[in-house]
Amino acid sequence: MDWDKDAIFKALGDATRRVILDELTERNELTLYELTARLVMKHNLSISRQAIAKHLNILEDAGLVISKRKGKYRVLMFNKEPLKNLLKGWVD
């Protein structure tokens, strides 16, 4: 799949979004509630679930986050494929 490089760089350009990706890397799957709790407690971020949801939309648009339904919860996962594709031409 051909990923939008500009969308990827835009998504990675924000420190909060990079912290979200760090958390999703550390834990394979997180719900929005779990992610919010980790950002507030572990990183002392003063951020609402609505603000995190906006960041997640940007990350999903870039293909860096995949979400799926598990029962009544939305589970979030980090998708590394866009980054591998982005760097392929520069690193190979």
- The candidate with the shortest Cα–Cα distance to 73, out of 22, 33, 21, 17, is 33
Phi-psi bin for 3: left (phi > 0), alpha (psi -120 to 50), beta?
beta
Q: What is the pLDDT of residue 84?
A: 86
Residue ranges of domains in the chain:
5-91
pLDDT of residue 86: 82
Question: DSSP label at 27?
Answer: S
CATH architecture of 5-91: Orthogonal Bundle (1.10)
What does pTM read for this prediction? Answer: 0.89
- What is the tens place of the pLDDT at every residue in 50-73? 999 999 999 999 999 999 999 999
Per-residue pLDDT of 2-46, as tens digits, reads 788 999 999 999 999 999 999 999 998 999 999 999 999 999 999
Report in angstroms the alpha-carbon separations of 54 from 16, 71, 87: 11, 22, 26
